[in-house]
Amino acid sequence: MDEYQELISVLPLQTIEYAFAYGSGAIQQKDENKAEKMVDFVVVTKDAQEFHRENLAKNPQHYSLLRLLGPKCLEKIQCNFAARVYYNTHVNVGKRKIKYGIISYENAKQDLLDWRWIYISGRLHKPVLDVITPKYDMCDLVTENRRSALHSALLLLPESFTLKQLFHKIVGLSYTGDFRMIVGEDKNKIEKIVEGNYEELMRVYEPLMNDDARLSVMTPAKVIQDGSTTAIYHRLNLLPSEVLNRIQRNMNKAQKRQRDAEEVIFSLAHRHDVAATVETAIGGIIRPISVSQTAKNAFSAGITRSVIYSIAKMSKFLKSK
């Protein structure tokens, strides 16, 4: 932990509400060496413009030529496009390289509660390393996001399954529809995360599973959930608002009808294609965001850093095939 706190200490931290490290440079994955990886961070700031102002004064070399636009424009680029995250990448700190994304508290809240972009929320479905401990309200948002991930994963599973299958579904949620899983990402990424973080996934999700009256963990090899229409309807209603909006829109379009969300969810609970419908809705949120945020990351990183990052990603992708 000390190493990661030292890495992030180069940033101005006065406005930071929460910071976490994620990815294979911080969280152990099967057959991966953390020490060789770039460390990915996300910092949640209560004042994006002030963060960029202080960071430009302290670390101008972290930015591409976009730094010439000044903090006000950087805030606009961050908060008005794609997943509302601004990344600086391939930053040298001591012997390690780091990449860090900046997101405002309000945008983080929107993503964690509503799954507006399933970007920061998706990273927090999985185990992360808390480098700056979240304040109470942020801690509650992270927990609620993970509860939504559990409900979503359970809707994708049959009545009986294993804990490993559940964790595969949870970890895989944020990759649903992500174009990078077709070209660019390690094909075995989900498996590596689950295998390398099984105990940590248990630590994160066991309290949430214990709180769920419709779920029974008999053994790691046998988990049973209530598969009744009533239980499915209950879980559907607990999905984040953006997922519910997508379900309503997709089903109304397919059936050429105009029904409110409650009617659509009630109807869906009685059908056999619940899993496919929920998965399509989640993929519909992630797909365009994965494209636009990747383009934004390349734009903010600059040409040279983007090429280096893309080559590294493609190398991992080819090795995994």
Asked if 136 and 150 sit in the same domain, the reply is: no
pLDDT of residue 184: 52
Domain count, the chain: 2
Domain-embedded: residue 306? no
Banded model confidence at residue 1, pLDDT cuts 50, 70, 90: confident
Domain-embedded: residue 216? yes
Q: Give the tens place of pLDDT for each residue, 46-96.
A: 999 999 999 999 999 999 999 999 999 999 999 999 999 999 999 999 999
pLDDT of residue 53: 98
Asked if 155 and 82 sit in the same domain, the reply is: no
Q: What is the SS3 assignment for 228?
A: coil
Asked if 271 and 164 sit in the same domain, the reply is: yes
Asked if 189 and 282 sit in the same domain, the reply is: yes
Banded model confidence at residue 185, pLDDT cuts 50, 70, 90: low
Banded model confidence at residue 312, pLDDT cuts 50, 70, 90: low
Domain-embedded: residue 292? no
Is the pTM higher than 0.85? The answer reads yes
Asked if 135 and 185 sit in the same domain, the reply is: no
pLDDT of residue 318: 41
Q: What is the SS3 assignment for 84?
A: coil
**What is the CB neighbour count within 10 angstroms for residue 303?**
11
- The domain of 228 spans 144-287
What CATH number corresponds to the domain at position 10?
A: 3.30.460
Mean pLDDT estimate for the chain: 92
pLDDT of residue 305: 60
Asked if 131 and 176 sit in the same domain, the reply is: no
Q: Which helix (H) or strand (E) holds 131?
A: strand 129-132
Asked if 160 and 118 sit in the same domain, the reply is: no
Banded model confidence at residue 178, pLDDT cuts 50, 70, 90: confident
Asked if 85 and 132 sit in the same domain, the reply is: yes
Asked if 114 and 14 sit in the same domain, the reply is: yes
Banded model confidence at residue 30, pLDDT cuts 50, 70, 90: confident
Domain-embedded: residue 165? yes
Residues of the chain with pLDDT > 70, as a percent, come to 92
Q: Give the tens place of pLDDT for each residue, 90-110.
A: 999 999 999 999 999 999 999
Query: In 3D, which of 228, 230, 168, 237 has the Cα closest to residue 198?
Result: 168
Asked if 81 and 216 sit in the same domain, the reply is: no
Please say if the pLDDT value at position 310 is more than 70: no
Return contacts of 295-300, CB within 8 angstroms, 24+ apart.
Answer: 295/82, 296/77, 296/81, 296/82, 296/83, 296/85, 296/86, 296/87, 297/87, 297/89, 299/66, 299/77, 300/63, 300/64, 300/66, 300/77, 300/86, 300/87, 300/88
Q: Which two tokens stand for residue 207?
A: 């309290």
Please say if the pLDDT value at position 168 is more than 80: yes
Domain-embedded: residue 310? no
Banded model confidence at residue 319, pLDDT cuts 50, 70, 90: low
Asked if 35 and 131 sit in the same domain, the reply is: yes
Contact 205, 146 (CB under 8 A): yes
Lowest mean pLDDT among 194-203, 211-220, 310-319: 310-319
